[in-house]
Structure 1
């Protein structure tokens, strides 16, 4: 069974590039979702194997969604240009953080590492 990855990213060029990268690696993509509410609805319909989240989405900061994902043991990769790894680690110690722009090879390495550890 193909693992599903939820993508929440509001910069559409980045979002589609990220989705293409993940899909080309053989994963099923849920998204991209530009807002927390859309991503939350998708998560409630079907739990993903992993979530890649931009921190600032169209309707706010993604941390409430990240907390729900964490509570359900869904691993997270934060993909942000504004927050540092240390800022995110303080709130979500188990999450990975990648700075934008992130090369596709680095993103896929993080995805595979997180899924193997889960």
Structure 2
């Protein structure tokens, strides 16, 4: 019965290469009742995960341990997966120009702003 409850939870892909930030994001997502996929420090590892199963939505840092996250963001956008960018390497304006449907927050982001974006991403996923 527990596995059925887990499978019904929306799945959130977290890609973040800073350990403490990744841990904080993951805990926020879990506290909101979602299942965390990751966190991944590498874009390539996250791409492998996405090939196996699409998440309901994703929280992405722009600069990961193996380069920029844009190939993953492109794949998610093409698949219709809502994206939240959480980055100190690009401004929200720059990211929205490239990904008009995405939400974006600069690091550090107040937890209440991130929670509001997660709530909106879940609504878009359904």
Q: How many residues align?
A: 118
* Aligned with residue 87 of structure 1, among 94, 97, 104: 94
Structure 1, unpaired ranges of 5+: none
Structure 2, unpaired ranges of 5+: 1-7
Output the TM-score relative to the length of structure 2: 0.90
Asked if the contact 2:82–2:124 (Cα under 8 Å) also holds between the matched residues in 1, the reply is no
The residue correspondences of 1:67-86 to structure 2 (distance < 5 A) are: 67-86=74-93
RMSD in angstroms over aligned alpha carbons? 0.9
Question: What does the per-residue CA deviation read over 1:58-99, in whole Å, with 9 as the maximum and x for residues that have no partner?
Answer: 111101110000000001000001211111111111100011
- The structure with more radius of gyration: 2
Q: Which runs of 4+ in 1 moved over 3 A?
A: none
CA distance in 1, matches of 2:52, 2:27: 22
CA distance in 1, matches of 2:111, 2:9: 19
